[in-house]
Structure 1
Amino acid sequence: MFVDSGALRSELSLQACTMQPDGLGGFVEQWAEVATVFARIEPVAAESRFGAGQTLEAMTHRITLRRRAGLASGMRFAKAGRVFDILTVHDPDESGRYFVCRVREVGL
C-alpha cells in the first residue's frame, strides 16, 4: 500500500475511555487524549435511520495513519468538535507502516 505522506494532514486527537465511579454505584465514561496524530480522512458511506421518533444520521469514514502502539477498536478520534468512533483497525498490507481504521461519525 502506497500512502503519500503529504496526505496525512488532518490533525486528530486519539482518545481512550476510562470508566469512573459516579458515587451512586454506577460509572461515567471519561475520555482522555492519548496522543495527537496526523491522518488522512476519507468518507466512505452515509446512512440515515429512523427510529424512536427521530432520525439518526451516521457517516462511515476510513482513516489512514502511521502505525502506532496501543491503537485499538473502542477508542476514538476527535477533530474540531467531530467525533469518530473506531470500529476496526488493521494493517492493510501487513508491512507494519500504516494502520487503516474504519470509523463511524454519528450525529452530523
Structure 2
Amino acid sequence: MTNETARPAPVGTLRRRMLLERLVATPDGLGGATSTFETVAAVWARLDWISGEERWLADRPEQAAHQRITLRWRGDVSAGLRLRDGARIFDIRAIADPDGSRRRLVCLVEEVGP
C-alpha cells in the first residue's frame, strides 16, 4: 500500500464539484417503467486515474476508464449510484472507507465513452 492510499486526502484536494445521482423508475401506466436519474447531492471530490481499456460492445468500440474518486464520507453512497462531472458520468462499482474513520469515502468508478 502506498502512502497516498494510506493517508486520507486533505480537504483542499477535493476540488471538483460533482453530482451524486441515483436511478429512479417511474411507472408509465402500461405495466412498464421509465428510468431516469435524480440528483441526491452535490459533493466535492478528487478524481484520480487508475487505468483504461478499449473494448467492443455491439460491434462498436468503446473506451472505459477506471478511476478513483475520493469524497467526504457519506452513509448513502453505494455501488449502483453514479457521479456526474458536467457531461462526464462515472458509474460507481465499489466503495470503501479505507481507514474506518468515516472521514473519506473512496469510490472505484468506471467512465465509459465512445
TM-score, normalised with respect to structure 1: 0.93
Letter in 1 for 2:81: M
User: Which residue of 5, 18, 29 corresponds with 2:11?
Assistant: 5
- Over aligned residue pairs, what C-alpha RMSD do you find? 1.2
Aligned with 1:6: secondary structure? helix
Judge conservation of contact 2:8–2:104 (CA < 8 Å) in 1: no
Give the % identical residues.
39
Number of the residue aligned with 2:94: 88
Q: How many residues align?
A: 108
For residues 23-102 of structure 1, the aligned pairs below 5 Å read: 23-102=29-108
Partner of 2:4: none
Q: What stretches of structure 1 move > 3 A for 4+ residues in a row?
A: none
Could you tell me which amino acid in structure 1 is paired with residue 102 of structure 2? G
Unmatched 5+ stretches in structure 2: 1-6
Which amino acid in structure 1 is aligned with residue 29 of structure 2?
Answer: G
TM-score under structure 2 normalisation? Answer: 0.88
Structure 1 unaligned blocks of 5 or more: none
